[in-house]
């Protein structure tokens, strides 16, 4: 079991605070919007594991910093080209990124402060999804830049949007703005940015009126279907993504 003092200052890309059992995790890079890369790819799964093993956490709020939730947009140059041995680290971290998030056995609220251009599935896996008016969603890091979307994107977006809309989203690099995301069921509430975190805390405080066991077991129940899909499809997707990355390495130049 982890304690808050052990992990609250452990990660350079995540700022944490906790009050009355409500933990807020804020993604950032040097105090500004998170720039996805090797450091957060390694740190975020570990942070989810620490948070999930701390029984003092009753509700978790996930948010970002600055104008964007996650970035930067993917480019062909930033698309990984790795040998199978090099991909093994990505495979391991990619599996635990989502499985450790889903193993957090308390309700999670995401407060999406701006565009989520990289790993936009993370806030969508929360139980309550709030978005600022400036938020948007795109899978900029995969198919449109030459990488197979096998790291969970192939599960989450078809699940949430429906099979045809989800496949269209992944294959075309579609950007979904906050209001449309609400209409499509990705987001529960769209708010002015200044109201986003206060609303997340208001909902978290409302949830903590329930007993710890009701909170935990409800989260467990509501994530079982998603975890089953991850169990069946995530490792396979990451393996195929790795084959595509190795093929790009062999054929570059």
Catalogue the active-site residues: 121
Cα 59 to Cα 36: distance, rounded to the nearest angstrom: 25
Backbone angles phi, psi at 80, to 5 degrees: -65, 140
Q: How is residue 57 annotated by DSSP?
A: -
Cis ω before 79 (30° cut-off from 0)? no
Dig out the tokens for 66 from the structure: 């600055």
Backbone angles phi, psi at 15, to 5 degrees: -100, 135
Dig out the tokens for 37 from the structure: 């890369």
Q: Which residues have C-beta within 8 Å of that of residue 23, sequence separation ≥ 6?
A: 4, 16, 17, 51, 54, 57, 59, 60, 61
Q: Which residues have C-beta within 8 Å of that of residue 189, sequence separation ≥ 6?
A: 130, 131, 182, 199
């Amino acid at each position: 079991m982890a304690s808050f003092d052990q992990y609250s200052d452990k990660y350079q890309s995540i700022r944490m605070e906790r009050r009355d059992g409500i933990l807020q995790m804020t993604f950032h890079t040097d105090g500004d919007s998170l720039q996805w890369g090797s450091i957060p790819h390694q740190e975020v799964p570990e942070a989810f594991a620490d948070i999930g093993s701390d029984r003092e956490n009753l509700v978790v709020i996930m948010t970002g910093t600055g104008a964007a939730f996650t970035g930067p947009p993917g480019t062909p140059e930033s698309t990984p080209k790795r040998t199978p041995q090099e991909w093994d680290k990505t495979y391991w971290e990619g599996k635990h990124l989502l499985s450790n998030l889903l193993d957090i056995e308390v309700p999670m609220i995401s407060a999406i402060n701006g565009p989520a251009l990289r790993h936009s599935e993370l806030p969508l896996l929360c139980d309550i999804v709030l978005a600022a008016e400036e938020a948007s969603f795109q899978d900029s890091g995969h198919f449109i830049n030459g990488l197979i979307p096998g790291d969970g994107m192939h599960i989450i977006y078809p699940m949430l949007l429906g099979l045809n809309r989800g496949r269209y989203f992944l294959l075309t690099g579609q950007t979904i703005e906050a209001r449309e995301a609400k209409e499509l069921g990705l987001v529960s509430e769209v708010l002015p940015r200044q109201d986003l975190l206060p609303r997340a805390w208001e909902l978290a405080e409302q949830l903590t009126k329930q007993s710890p066991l009701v909170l935990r077991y409800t989260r467990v129940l509501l994530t079982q279907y998603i975890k089953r899909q991850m169990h069946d499809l995530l490792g396979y997707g990451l393996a195929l993504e790795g084959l595509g990355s190795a093929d790009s390495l062999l054929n570059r130049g």
